[in-house]
Chain A
Amino acid sequence: MVDNNLLFQYLLRLGDDQQILSQRLSEWCGHAPTLEEDLALANIALDLLGQARSLYTYAGEVEGAGRDEDQLAFLRYENEYTNALIVERPNGDFAHTITRQLFYSVYMDLHWNALLSSKDETVRAIAAKAVKEVDYHVRHAAEWVIRLGQGTEESHQRMVEALEEFAIYTGELFEMDDLAQQMFKAGVGVDLTLLRPEWEQQIAAVLGEAGLRMPEVNWMQTGGRSGEHTEHLGHLLCELQYMQRAYPGMTW
Chain B
Amino acid sequence: MSEKFTPLWEVFIRARNGLAHKHAGSIHAADAEMALQAARDVYTRRGEGQSLWVVRSDQIVASDPSDKDMMFEPTASKIYRHPTFYEIPEEVGNM
Contact = CB atoms under 8 A, between A and B. Distances in A.
Q: Taking the complex as a whole, does A directly touch B, i.e. does some CB pair lie under 8 Å apart?
A: yes
Interface of A: 34-37, 39-40, 43, 136, 139-140, 143, 147
B3 to A, nearest CB: 11
Contacts, number: 27
A169 B75 CA distance: 69
A40 B41 contact: yes
10 contacts: A34-B28, A36-B41, A39-B38, A39-B41, A39-B45, A40-B38, A43-B41, A43-B45, A139-B37, A147-B30
Contacts of A35: 28
Interface in B1-32: 6, 27-30
B42 interface: yes
Contacts of A37: 38
B33 interface: yes
A36 B42 CA distance: 7
Given A36-B38, A36-B41, 7 more contacts: A34-B28, A36-B29, A37-B38, A39-B41, A39-B45, A136-B40, A143-B37
A140 B39 CA distance: 12
Contacts of B71: none
A134 B78 CA distance: 55
3 A-B pairs closest in CB distance = A36-B38, A40-B41, A39-B41
A248 to B, nearest CB: 35
A124 B37 CA distance: 28
Interface in B39-90: 40-42, 45
A43 B42 CA distance: 9
